[in-house]
Amino acid sequence: MGDNWEHIVTVEEGAPGTRYPRYIEGEHRAPPEDCGGTPGFETFLEAVTDPKHPEHDDATQWHLGCYGTAFDPDEIDERDAKLRIGAIAKRRAAGKASQARKSR
């Protein structure tokens, strides 16, 4: 059985004509792929954020080797989030337009 990540999504009423969903802001970076689910991510996060942790060097080097950058839990790739959520909004709008044409 796989791990489930918990996310908090706030839905607010928006302006007519705006494509939704739309990314506004976030708080923390998503876990890296293949970190071992929830328990693995918790261990990774402890190690990478504590230079005195016995696994700090290994965790830091693993992430650097996989992603080319150091892991900062507070750094969010806002551009990527906006692009991915924008793609969902675009598909949603296309689906709504298709439905509207079919119902005519």
Contact 53, 43 (CB under 8 A): no
Question: Amino acid letter at 46?
Answer: E
Reported as a single tens digit per residue, the pLDDT across 5-16 is 677 777 777 778
Question: Amino acid letter at 38?
Answer: T
Question: What φ, ψ does residue 15 adopt, rounded to 5°?
Answer: -80, 140
Reported as a single tens digit per residue, the pLDDT across 51-86 is 999 999 999 999 999 889 889 988 888 898 889 888
